Structure 1
Amino acid sequence: MSDVRCVVVLNQDLASGKAANAAAVIALTLGQRHPGLVGHTLSDAHGQQYPGLIPVGIPILSADNTQLRALLARCREQQLDVVLFPREGQMTVDYAAFAAAVSEVATGDLQHLGLGITGDKKALRKLTASLKLFG
């Protein structure tokens, strides 16, 4: 597991509340897709248990629209696992409406609010080295 890393890259123009929402949705989906990234159950001094957290950290980076599109293309070329959060994800709270809206947009026309990427840590560092932390 030490060779695997995940990052979240958000559109730099997102307001803080929208960014927090996008990062949370992406991270939840990454955890579902890669349960091995979640650490063991935690216990406090009184024996109370808490769900495990990801032990490798998840940097939250920022990029503009052009950078997000280029990053997505490079991730696909390298066959990295990508969770895409399109603009339509913040237009409704109804998942069926969200899915219907996405189905009407051509791949090249999707506006990316964020990407969650999982893969080899060296490959991810190389892909994201020029990006700054969000905020």
Structure 2
Amino acid sequence: MTGQTESKCAIVVSGELPTGLAVNAASVLSLTMGHRIEGLVGVDVKDADGLTHPGIIHTPLPILVAPRERVDVIVQAAAAQERMFFASFSSLAQACRTYEEYIDKMAATPTAGLASVGVGLYGPRKQVNKLVGSLPLLR
């Protein structure tokens, strides 16, 4: 990956999702990104009283919105780019109640049958901007 100042993060969720499901999708994707992208979360910090606070992401993470079909297009474009980390979140995943159910359903579903309702991106700033630069923030 590139250095933090040259890189950009973004999450895009489907505009067709109700607010609760959009927040769920963004939360799942942000957890995945924080776990998989080394150095994205900063070191723990202490406040003036000496209380330690866990590190948080040290780069902006906009939550953007797009039509569901556009989310699929962004996933496909991100998958084709080198140096781009992406994590997609499908309606299939969002409907599962357990991880075991998710594993089973994913094993029976071809890639073309997965409808993405969200995607997390991390990569070179120019590449991320090209994919999501014109999208509005989730409100």
TM range (shorter): over 0.9
- 1:58 matched to which residue of 2? 61
2:103 corresponds, among 86, 99, 103, to 99
Q: Percent same amino acid among aligned pairs?
A: 31
2:125 corresponds, among 111, 121, 130, to 121
**Does residue 36 of the first structure (1) align with residue 39 of the second (2)?**
yes
2:112 corresponds, among 60, 84, 108, to 108
Please give the TM-score of this superposition, normalised by the length of structure 1.
0.94
- 2:19 matched to which residue of 1? 16
Q: 1: distance between equivalents of 2:14 and 2:119?
A: 9
**How many Å apart are 1:65 and its aligned residue?**
2.0
- 2:72 matched to which residue of 1? 69
Q: 2: distance between equivalents of 1:69 and 1:12?
A: 13
Q: 1: distance between equivalents of 2:77 and 2:21?
A: 25
Q: 2: distance between equivalents of 1:69 and 1:93?
A: 23
Q: What is the letter of the counterpart of residue 44 of structure 2?
A: T
**Does residue 84 of the first structure (1) align with residue 88 of the second (2)?**
yes
**How many Å apart are 1:106 and its aligned residue?**
1.5
**How many Å apart are 1:84 and its aligned residue?**
1.0
Please give the TM-score of this superposition, normalised by the length of structure 2.
0.91
**Structure 2 unaligned spans of 5+:** none
Q: 2: distance between equivalents of 1:62 and 1:92?
A: 23
Q: 2: distance between equivalents of 1:66 and 1:16?
A: 18
Post-superposition CA distance 1:23-61 (Å, at most 9, x none): 111000001101301112121111000111111110101
Aligned-residue Cα RMSD (Å) equals 1.2
